[in-house]
């Protein structure tokens, strides 16, 4: 499969990329990745014309040939609503989709997943405190126009390239692991493009991390962690298992002392204290959790809260180790001081960095490699392209720091862009190349509302300072835990999921966590 992770400029498309793409032809009424595209605006090459297209390939320009190869959702026509294409289904993308005025715009969302993940509660699903569906909200429920409006779509696909000159994005549908079927490739024309593809876990190029560690950013990650944890608990009870192997299998190692790493360690310790000791009595004294951090845990929190978290986690049986991982093997990790740490489960949570797709884009980059944007979240080097969330950062000449990769940053940017697009649409700037003279209003300003983190066993931290060195209210303990749960329950997107979460919490409190391992 050819790599399309580039930006095409005008008609200068490499012939070897086009010829090597092995793009399947589709008729306009075919199913595309399980999604019906319909006939409106879809351009493709019928099967009966394949031979003719092959004969004239040498006579046509690369751009003309390429346009025949890709089924295309064509550009909007005069009199039609402008089309906004959104790449991604994370916090920023879904907050924007939720608020966009579909009376002004048609919306198209392109993402390799069809749901948004409520990431602050994802760690709870790994140990059975919450069910997986409680933290996932379908995109079509967030913006119902994607399912109901005739000119709005959701495509389960990944964007592989952006043609800014022709206002098109190149996409490849998500495969299901079946190697016998080639993924379809297609194009979508846009009037406005919003890039909110998020980021990917940072591995710092450490050998073995991607092969042997679990990440915790998607529902599928949490499912794999849960299966691995329960499998190790059951394997450790087999007759003939040595003491050394039993200790390795039941050693859970978490790399990274940020909020995600600390919350997962707290959930694990709570699971061990309340459930493992009753449900796995033969191995209850072997399971343990180690949290490895290069510096201090929760470095962005108040020093008093960090000390509280350290004491509480240690009291709950979490071993805190200060160290740097040098290499990862299937059954052990090597630290920079040469020490070895055997493990049965390894969870990697050391922050995020730009994805391969973002790195491939020929856009100006902010410090750290994100897509560079101005004060209105526009990519200044091209027309009608915006970026927000974890994949975007202010350019250096803007004079603002790159904002942290937090859900509240992404959500606030999505809300800001909704209002910006309303103004653009009402001033007839929604169509391509028509917003140059539209007043944009006040630029985006981010005000931090504080941070929260659970540390397990009905304890949490609440830090309401506006900045790391600023002043503000800080709390720790049971009251903070109650505030943490109340705040997240109100932030869950739909009433349906709020009901799921509340029922799951109540069920866990009364009956404990379910330990079924379902493939």
In order, the DSSP letters of 474-492 are EEEEHHHHHHHHHHHHHHS
**What is the pTM assigned to this prediction?**
0.85
Tell me, what's the pLDDT at 4?
40
**Pairing of β 340-342 and β 332-335:** antiparallel
Encode pLDDT of 38-47 as tens digits: 444 444 434 4
Is residue 307 scored above 90 in pLDDT?
A: yes
* Residues β-bridged to residue 333: 328, 341
SS3 135: helix
pLDDT of 121 strictly over 70:
yes
pLDDT at residue 518, rounded to an integer = 79
Question: What does the pLDDT look like over 225-284, one tens digit per residue?
Answer: 999 999 999 999 999 999 999 999 999 999 999 999 999 999 999 999 999 988 898 888
Q: How many other CB atoms sit within 10 Å of the CB of residue 494?
A: 12
pLDDT at 26: 38
| Average pLDDT, integer, range 458-471 | 89
pLDDT of residue 56: 37
Check if the beta carbon of residue 129 is closer than 8 Å to that of residue 513.
yes
Taking a C-beta distance cutoff of 8 angstroms, is the pair 229, 346 a contact?
A: no
393 touches 358 (CB < 8 A)? no
Q: What is the mean pLDDT of residues 327-356?
A: 96
Phi and psi at 268, nearest 5°, equal -65, -45
Helix (H) or strand (E) holding 265: helix 259-271
Positive or negative, the CA dihedral 263, 484, 271, 302 is positive
Neighbours of 236 (CB within 10 A): 20
pLDDT, mean of residues 161-169:
96
pLDDT band, residue 177 (cuts 50/70/90): low
Domains of the chain: 72-201+354-427 (3.50.50.100), 214-350+449-511 (3.50.50.100)
Give the residue among 452, 456, 509 at the shortest CA–CA distance from 486: 452
Q: Mean pLDDT throughout 80-102?
A: 97
Nearest-5° Cα angle at 204, 198 to 210? 75
Report the alpha-carbon distance of residue 410 to residue 189 in Å, rounded. Answer: 25
Handedness of CA 151, 380, 368, 351 (dihedral sign): negative
Tens of pLDDT along 49-81?
Answer: 434 434 433 444 444 444 447 899 999 999 999
Residue 519 — pLDDT band, cuts 50, 70, 90?
A: low
Q: pLDDT > 90: what percent of the chain?
A: 77
**Helix-helix angle 91-99:407-426, to 10 degrees:** 30
Coil/strand/helix, residue 324: coil
Separation between Cα atoms, residue 91 and residue 196, nearest integer Å:
9
pLDDT of amino acid 228: 96
Torsion of CA 171, 176, 179, 183, to 10 degrees: -20
**Mean pLDDT score, 161-167:** 96
What kind and span of H or E run contains 463? strand 460-463
Residue 252: half-sphere exposure toward Cβ, Cα within 13 Å: 28
pLDDT tens digits for range 403-437: 999 999 999 999 999 999 999 999 999 999 999 88
**SS3 state of residue 321:** strand
> In this model, does residue 12 exceed pLDDT 80?
no
What pLDDT is stored for residue 470 in this prediction?
Answer: 80
User: pLDDT tens for residues 482-494?
Assistant: 999 999 999 998 9
Q: Helix or strand or coil: residue 369?
A: coil
**Residue 398's pLDDT is what?**
92
Which one-letter DSSP state was computed for residue 390?
G
pLDDT of residue 138: 96
pLDDT value at position 296? 93
State the residue for tokens 């379908």.
138
The per-residue pLDDT for 477 is 96
For the segment 150-160, the average pLDDT, to the nearest whole number, is: 96
């Amino acid at each position: 499969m050819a790599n399309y992770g580039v930006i095409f400029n005008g008609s200068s498309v490499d012939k070897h990329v086009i010829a090597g793409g092995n793009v399947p032809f589709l008729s306009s009424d075919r199913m595309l990745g399980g999604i019906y595209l319909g006939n409106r605006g879809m351009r493709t090459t019928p099967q009966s014309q394949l031979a003719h297209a092959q004969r004239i390939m040498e006579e046509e320009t690369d751009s003309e040939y390429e346009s025949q190869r890709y089924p295309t959702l064509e550009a909007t026509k005069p009199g039609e609503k402008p089309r906004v294409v959104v790449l991604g289904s994370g916090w920023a993308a879904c907050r924007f989709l939720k608020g966009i005025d579909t009376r002004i715009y048609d919306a198209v969302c392109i993402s390799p997943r069809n749901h948004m993940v409520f990431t602050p509660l994802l760690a709870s699903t790994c140990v059975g405190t919450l069910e997986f569906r409680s933290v996932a909200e379908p995109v079509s429920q967030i913006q119902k126009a994607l399912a109901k409006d005739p000119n709005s779509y959701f495509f389960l696909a990944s964007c592989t390239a952006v043609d800014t000159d022709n206002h098109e994005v190149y996409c490849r549908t998500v495969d299901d692991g079946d190697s016998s079927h080639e993924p379809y490739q297609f194009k979508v024309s846009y009037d406005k493009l919003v890039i909110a593809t998020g980021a990917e876990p940072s591995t710092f190029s450490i050998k073995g991390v991607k092969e042997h560690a679990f990440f915790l950013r998607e529902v599928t990650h949490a499912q794999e962690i849960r299966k691995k944890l329960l499998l190790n608990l059951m394997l450790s009870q087999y007759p003939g298992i040595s003491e050394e192997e039993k200790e390795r299998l039941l050693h859970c190692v978490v790399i990274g002392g940020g909020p995600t790493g600390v919350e997962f360690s707290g959930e694990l310790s709570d699971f061990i204290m309340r459930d493992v000791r009753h449900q796995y009595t033969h191995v209850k004294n072997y399971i343990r959790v180690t949290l490895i951090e290069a510096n201090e845990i929760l470095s962005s929190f108040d020093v008093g809260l960090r000390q509280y978290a350290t004491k509480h986690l240690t009291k709950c049986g979490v071993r805190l180790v200060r160290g740097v991982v040098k290499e990862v093997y299937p059954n052990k990790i090597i630290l920079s001081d040469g020490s070895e740490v055997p493990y049965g489960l390894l969870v990697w949570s050391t922050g995020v960095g730009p994805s391969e797709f973002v790195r491939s884009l020929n856009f100006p980059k902010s410090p750290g490699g994100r897509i560079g944007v101005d004060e209105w979240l526009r990519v200044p080097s091209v027309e009608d392209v915006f970026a927000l969330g974890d994949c975007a950062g202010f350019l250096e000449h803007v004079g603002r720091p790159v904002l942290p990769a937090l859900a509240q940053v992404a959500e606030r940017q999505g809300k800001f862009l909704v209002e910006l697009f309303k103004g653009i649409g009402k001033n007839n700037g929604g169509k391509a190349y028509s917003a140059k003279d539209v007043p944009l209003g006040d630029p985006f300003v981010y005000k931090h509302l504080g941070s929260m983190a659970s540390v397990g066993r009905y304890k949490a931290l609440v830090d309401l300072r506006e900045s790391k060195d600023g002043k503000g209210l800080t709390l720790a303990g049971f009251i903070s835990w109650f505030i943490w749960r109340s705040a997240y329950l109100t932030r869950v997107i739909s009433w349906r999921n709020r009901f799921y979460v509340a029922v799951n919490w109540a069920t866990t409190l009364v009956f404990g966590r379910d330990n079924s391992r379902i493939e």
